[in-house]
Amino acid sequence: MNESHLDNLPAGYVPPKVWSPKHEYGGQFGSINSPVSGARFERELPVGKHPLQLYSQGTPNGQKITILLEELLAAGYSDAEYDAWLIDIFKGDQFASGFVDINPNAKIPALVDRSVDPVLRVFESGSILVYLAERFGAFLPTERRARTETLNWLMWQMGSAPFVGGGLGHFYAYAPLKIEYAIDRYAMEAKRQLHVLDTHLASHEYLAGNEYTIADMAVLPWYPGSLYGVYKTHEFLAVEEYQHLLRWYRAVGARPAVARGRRVNRTSSVPGEFLRERHDASDFDTLTP
């Protein structure tokens, strides 16, 4: 055997000419992964009383949308009232026929706007953010330079954080075995991205400048949000050394609407900590302050 294969994991592994899936991969998400798309079972989605119907889970991508919706309501846009239905990705709810109908990619979040005829589906978190911001005329500047800067950072988040942050989180927290090469590869890039943000925020109040926008709402749940919460890699990545990033994170995180949005469609064994679903503003009254 070629010596270059001796250190492969598993030992001696050589990629086949044509890849095919194994029967079992292990790990927290191993049983739901598949190389093909489409619905796996029949189930219609519930519909609540508001025109905006959100189907999601309070992951970093899901939090982006509930943060924006709560910010819109706080800013006086009463038409932004919404129902937030839990799609439990750990149980495979995202593969139900009703959900796949509104997002063929079977990923949360997905939104249905029932205020238009025919109803309008919106999927991909960045697309939902832009759609809602334009629908209500808020949190996305109209001036060309400020709008472009907002979209710059929104697209940066979409192209950077889920793959790199999610990749690190998978190999660090979820994979059935610890692979040093994989963890080091993702940690290196995650650190670089943290430094990108820290350097930029050293001279800017918010990501797009002096105005709070959907770019801030998109980045906060990921960097450093998921590093503190979902993946618990804050010590591993020495997140506390990025002081400019943390100044921004604490300031934005202290906004009441952000705090509310980050509690929606999340589950916990601690009563009153999160809302599994949100159908009315009064639902927050059940939560522990």
d(CA 26, CA 209): 44
Architecture of domain 52-139+264-269+275-286: 3-Layer(aba) Sandwich (3.40)
pLDDT digits (tens, 9 = 90+) for 73-109: 999 999 999 999 999 998 999 999 999 999 999 999 9
Average confidence (pLDDT) over 159-174: 85
Q: Is the pTM of this model over 0.85?
A: yes
Architecture of domain 144-254: Up-down Bundle (1.20)
Q: Where are the beta strands (DSSP E) in the chain?
A: 52-56, 82-86, 110-113, 120-123
Domains in the chain: boundaries: 52-139+264-269+275-286, 144-254
pLDDT at 10: 80
d(CA 225, CA 240): 12
Using 50, 70 and 90 to split pLDDT, how confident is the model at 5? low
Please list the residues that pair with 82 across neighbouring strands.
52
Q: What is the chain's mean pLDDT, rounded?
A: 92
d(CA 236, CA 224): 13
pLDDT digits (tens, 9 = 90+) for 30-58: 677 788 899 999 999 999 999 999 999 99
Res. 28: pLDDT tops 80: no
Res. 1: pLDDT tops 50: no
d(CA 59, CA 125): 11
Contact 141, 211 (CB under 8 A): yes
